[in-house]
Amino acid sequence: MVKANVLPAGQVKTQPAAESVHSSTANIANRDIFRKADEGDPNSMLNLGRIYLEGQGDITRDRSKALEWIKKSAESGNNKAMFRLAQIYYYGEGSIVDKNIAKAVEWCHKAAEAGNALAMYTLAELYLMEEEESVIINEEQGEQWLAKAHKVLNEDAEAGDAEAMYMLGEIYWQSPPLSPKYAKKATEWHRMAADCYEKQADAGDYEAMYKLGTMYKLGKGVPQDYSKAAYWYQKAADAGDPRSMVNLAEYYKYGYGVPENLSKAFELYLKAVRIRPDGATMLSIAELYKRGEGSSEDIARVVEICNGYVEADSEVTSGLAAFSLAEIYQQGERMPQDTMMAAQLYQKAAELGHGQAMVRVGRNYYYGTLVEQDYGKAFEWFSKAAVWRIYPKARLYLALLYHEGQGIVKDDAKALDWISRVEKESISVSLYDLSRELMSEGVPPNNIIDLYRLAADRGNNNFMYALGQIYSEGEGIARDLLKSMVWNSKAAEAGHSGGMANLAWGYYKLEDFDNAFKWFQKAANLGGLDAMRMLGVLYSKGQGVPQDKDEAIKWWHKAADAGNSAAMWCLAYAYENGEGVIQDFKEAFTWYSRGAEAGHIASIYSLGLMYGQGRGVAIDNVKAVEWWRKGAEQENVLCMANLGWAYLYGKGVQQDRQQATRWLQKAANLGNEFARNMLVQMN
């Protein structure tokens, strides 16, 4: 469910007035809101509810009154209040409201029927995506609400609503597959939204400043420009917006659009958390503190803020604070480590409903970390977290406990049930990645293998594929190419395209190009994007098939158009060097850009070169440095070396021998000869 953009509940008792996002003029405005709310104005009722949720000016936070006023507004027909009420019930915000999906859906329906587009999209998401087990999939209803939301947003956007314009841009951008037609519509709506936001920002609207900064950050509706993003985040931060402070802190932390400055980053994080305490920001402060920024007084203040939230009446917020505080106590960097306190806080956060804390407490009992080992209690906490599909790790631990008979009677049927749910319902995580996580935490590899074989031996090709990956990568066990190929062969014969591709890779490593081509082709015909790319490689090199550069380009285009970033690099390289196509630097630049934006590390390095050398684009050393910095932070040695060179000669960045030495030394330590030679010349 889409969460409203409000400050977390749980006001810090000692928050300095000077650091509040609200000025003293808020008190005057609040009195006006009180008057209008008492007169029955639905918007004022909602605004008053929001004020009580946060605490503002001379109004102390009061969640009971917040709920009362939001309900009054909703019952008066305000669809925004109806949707906010749906969110409160969905998340179970505050001790006065228990999580209630039925009521959340009821109010979401009321809001949608009253014309709220966000509520319509939320209903579409619930009915189409099975986010909640208590909501039955209903594709017909889901599609109907989706269509209605489109209609309302189009009408609002045509009437000049910037939020509606932005949402339409997002919808078209995220619509799979991203066709050129949809990409054009997404860009058009984002551009119109950006124009509206800029006018609002120039008029002093800090919310518009924040959104404009984000659009420049992401390159939506405007050219991606970290410097302009930093400019707008700074203006919004100066106006008191804590989200902009956090984003600007990230920029100073990594040197995006502004010179890298960890002290400024720490200062901004600290300022933001004093205004709007947030678990992720608290952890960012702790991370920089570990790296030498800030004082013990600063971290004590963060601990004080966390403690204030642990005692707050909001279960959601205090659970997050307890978890953040537990992380700080357990790390114990530049402050006394207190594992006993960490264990107690993890427990408290779990009892307050924090899912990640439930998983952590389960792990603590499973391994006997911070507490006495107790498989029964581990089972209890993993069971609570496993209710949500966003915690597949908890489900896999449950399956292990059932399979091993630890803390519960051995029951392979239930073990199978849980790993089947992991397979079917996990969000953006593979069975192999989960196995790696658990093995890195201490689960014996053979326990994972035995568990996965339960499903694989019963014909589940996804577990066959995962077993092939485990043996191929050798995580926690000796790498075994033969066993990997046996399991990949079983998965491939059972119709798994990933198994086909991995089997093809096995043959490719053995230089059996005929079989490699056979299985890459089968996988490609089933839609395997990397298999399509590899078919292009085989055609390009004439391996397992007569050399055919045209066919190579065709397969790379097919994979790249469908989103394969490695294929984008292959196409870019071909256009840059005139291999199979007429040499075309602009086309090469286009494909390197797409690959880099998708996170492909070789494309990131190559795009920096294109900017630095002016190939397919005007020379822009600042852009070159931005991309090399991205690659360097991902440990790419070529990007590290080029970033060091840029600092040494002041290309696209202020000349800085200290930074040059830092990056060249890192590259040299990883074996880069260019960096070693540069260091010799410097000395």
Residue % of the chain over a pLDDT of 90:
51
Q: Of 185-199, 265-279, 406-420, 595-609, where does mean pLDDT reach its minimum?
A: 265-279
Mean pLDDT, the chain, whole residue set: 85
Does any domain span residue 11?
A: yes
- Is 70 exceeded by the pLDDT of residue 57? no
Which of the four pLDDT bands, split at 50, 70 and 90, describes residue 2?
very low
Structure tokens at 669: 């330590």
Tell whether the model's pLDDT for residue 375 goes beyond 60.
Answer: yes
pLDDT value, residue 478: 86
Binning pLDDT at 50, 70 and 90, where does residue 679 land? very high
Three-state SS at 59: strand
* 103 part of a folded domain: yes
Distance in angstroms (rounded) separating the CA atoms of residues 640 and 191: 34
Average pLDDT over residues 540-562: 95
Mean of the pLDDT values across residues 171-191?
68
Give the pLDDT of residue 11.
25
Please state the rounded mean pLDDT for residues 36-57: 80
**Residue 127 within any structural domain of the chain:** yes
pLDDT reading at 301 higher than 60:
yes
- Report the range out of 12-26, 112-126, 423-437 with the highest average pLDDT: 112-126
pLDDT category, 342, cuts 50, 70, 90? confident
Which distant-in-sequence residues (6+ apart) come within 8 Å of 49 by Cβ? 65, 66, 67, 68, 69, 70, 73, 81, 84
Q: The domain containing residue 28 runs over which residues?
A: 1-159
- pLDDT over threshold 60, residue 682: yes
Question: What pLDDT is attached to residue 463?
Answer: 94
Is residue 32 a part of any domain in this protein? yes
Alpha-carbon distances, residue 27 vs 33, 46, 247, 278 (angstroms): 10, 17, 29, 25
Q: For 56, phi and psi rounded to 5 degrees?
A: -150, 140
pLDDT bracket for residue 179 (50, 70, 90) = very low
Report helix, strand or coil for 13: coil
Q: Is residue 230 within 8 Å of 258, Cβ to Cβ?
A: yes
3-state secondary structure 159-199: CCCHHHHHHHHHHHHHCCCCCHHHHHHHHHHHHHHHHHHHH
| Confidence at residue 576, expressed as pLDDT on a 0 to 100 scale | 96
Contact 61, 53 (CB under 8 A): yes
- Does residue 35 form part of some domain? yes
Establish if 199 belongs to a structural domain: no
Distance of alpha carbon 484 from alpha carbon 226, whole angstroms: 44
- For residue 125, being part of any structural domain is answered with yes
pLDDT in tens, 554-592: 999 999 999 899 999 999 999 999 999 999 999 999 999
Higher pLDDT, 450 or 169: 450
- Angle, CA of 366, 372 and 376, to the nearest 5°: 50
* pLDDT score at 683: 83
CATH of the domain at 49: 1.25.40.10
pLDDT of residue 319: 72
Count structural domains, the chain.
1
